[in-house]
Chain A
Amino acid sequence: MKKATAGPAAPESGGAGRRVVVTGLGAVTAAGWGVGPLNDWLQTGRTAIGPFTRIDHHLQRTHVAGEVPPPPAGQARLFARWRRYSNTDRFALFAAVEAAAAARLPASLHDRASGVFFGSSTGGLFESEQFYSQLVGHSTDVANRSFLASHHLSAPAEAVARQFGVSGPVETLSSACASAGLAIEQALRSVRSGEVDIAFAGGADCLALTTYSGFNALRAMDAQPCRPFRADRQGMSLGEGGAVLVLEDLEHALARGVTPLAEVLGAGSTCDATHMTAPHEAGQFAAEAMRSAIADAGLTAGDIGYINAHATGTPLNDAAEYAAMRLVFGERTSDVPVEATKSVLGHLLGAAGAVEAVVTVLGLMHRVVHPTAGDGPCDPATPLTLVSGRPRAVPDLRYAISSSLGFGGANAAVLLGRWMPT
């Protein structure tokens, strides 16, 4: 049962205390419903960003996104239970159920110290937009309030908590692009400190008119699928979906007879505190988040063998992120293989940090760095090692960093390690 803790639920730091491992993964993305389809897609080097129908975009500046395809036919019963939920809720629930099954968790976690730590920027915004459209378009008594039932940003996390009877903390962080990275950090600290033994760490977001229009208003989106770090990159692509990692106390997992998939070794976060939409161009605070994660793991920058970068594909982000990597990795920056998952799935906003952590774990498990979609030379101003075409084997891969740099300046870095039984 839950271990007593003294004082406020204070996180561990400096690597002391309980070890936290990943025992299950779940994902819903443009590649399909499930980690299997995601993993398969990651082998191909192709992008899953393309035409989409979630919202009407004929008046938008761009016409591509990483849209989740229709759900698989064989899951009718599951989806029937969830039919009143929002898209975002369903992405979260599917991913959580998949992750829980992979972790061989019991159907109910009610008697275990467990929590949910999620990121979301949209919650049920897609459905709320439909409600609003009814509200302002028709008389006030026609708009169907049931569209609003999952409006809250906290709704996906709460749906997951209800699904599994979670009784511990259920928290949602909404810091734009850094949300899920920060949520994973919170889950890490919660498990490390003994506040919980099991945590669903994840995120979910859905394409919506607000976000699609908003990023176009900022002229931030590329008409083509995004091309992070390439010389001719023009901007980002939006995506949607959900991803969940089951984080667990190592001893608790081993006692259940479950083999970890990876270890969560450290995390760090900072804030640029400079501008609401543009990253700090010198990258120093993004660098500090990475350094902090590395220190939290008790490692050095030289130990990192793979970087899953934030890499939205906007000229400003990628340049600032390169600068940040230079500050942390110095001369090695151009040698450490980098993966830009957003080139494949698009930017999942509040779920990005979670889906990218899942991808990073897959890389660690299989000792590969997956290809970044697209071709063309890297921007000479950001000379990085991107993998193209098919995954690159990295036989001695042990440690990886996944970074998420958000709108509003929040930066999050999570350090993951291959599971290496001692």
Chain B
Amino acid sequence: MDYYILTIAFYLSVLTYYIGVLILALPIPWYGIKKWGPILIVDGIKSAILVFSFNIIILSVAYISEVIGINWYNFNAWIVGKISELVLLYTFLFSLQTVASKVISGITGIFTSPLLSLITYSIILLETFLIVGAVVYSYCSKFIAIGILLHNIPFRISRAAGSTLIAFAIIYFIGLPLLPTFIETITTPTITPKIDLNTLKTGVAYGTIYLKDIIGKPIPYAILKITMPNDKSKILALYISNSEGIINALSLERGLPADEEYLVEVEYLGRIIPVTPNPINPKQHYKHQNETPYIKLVLKAIDTIVYRYISFSFEEGTIINYIKTNATLMKLIIKCNNKKYIELRIPDEIELVKIYDNNTEIVPIRKEILEWYGVTYTYYKVEVEEGVHNLEFHFNFNNFTPDKVKPNASEVPYLSNIIGEDNIIEAIHRLIALFFFTYFIAPLSYFFILISVTYGLASFIGGRRAMRIPVRVI
């Protein structure tokens, strides 16, 4: 196809040449017409040179590309990667807008809508680059051939267009794949955000978590850690339940993961209490109040009872048949198939007075004083033999104040944590400004640089002024 176009281009240059000769031979002594003769003769010769230079141009482009080290695969991969990052940011911001605006008063689309538009523009621009890149890569030689054809049409009718097309194909084939290098060069010294965009995949939702023990009583002042299922060491959030065993994740910087499964770890007085459900699929816990998506999550302990800040943990296989409590006493009837242990964790200033097993006083087999986030507690281990046991635990709460059980740990609010800033709104604005600069303004500047280079090369190929052979015309 290219050679067919070039054949036409060659014959056009021959035609141009002979038209020039014909005009030169005209018996009309009128300079306005006659001047075209020598111009067209030279144009014809130049056009023929251009036609035969087709291979040289193609080879030169390939040679220069290879010398510079251009890789179209990297260019495409870079753009696709950046688009997916922007899409991730868009999705995150969109969910923040829809969810946060309904749950938290004061947050509306006013602050997110312009940011969403900026991301959209950047995505569209990068997509355009991808398309331009694909077109240039696939049709470079065809563009050059068509450019030569247009360049060779007699009387310079489409010479500028042809030159521009040739220059466009050459410059964009060589220059476009350098876009990632250009952007990375100009953005490296600027402040890059601390955020790892992959964490945004988890989205954001708002709601309340209730921590309950086996019998549905709240677990107060427990630490809840939210982690990724694939990387337990990466803490997404850390919250502390209040005295009612409730965690409110309702302010803007708090929140909970919304789109991906996550693991929870409930820790109370130094023990990680196994809870159900775990892992948690947030989509199963949405409640709709006044058409507002809202997460209500109840985490129920599997093996622990919390009675007035005292934790009782039972081994697997212990069946609890009866529980009765009053101000200082806890009564239990349990059944064990073999020898079992019961662990008690009692905060400081609560005194374990006595333990009765089937009306016989027993003593714990182990006692230890430990500390958990600044809370001192006593650990007791009680042994029970096989069979049914009527247990009674007597306590003395005289000097106890609940505040002392509150762990001295700092909370890690979810949204602040994944964004990496305390001031969410400012952080999001800065992040998007940086993205807009990197993926919109910088590529656009590069695009204009290439356009100006194309213009320069087009002037070189097309010639700014007509060149004439040294023949005098009347």
Partners in one complex: no
Task: Write the residues of chain B forming the contact surface with A, with a CB cutoff of 8 angstroms.
Answer: none
Residues of A in contact with B (beta carbons under 8 Å apart): none
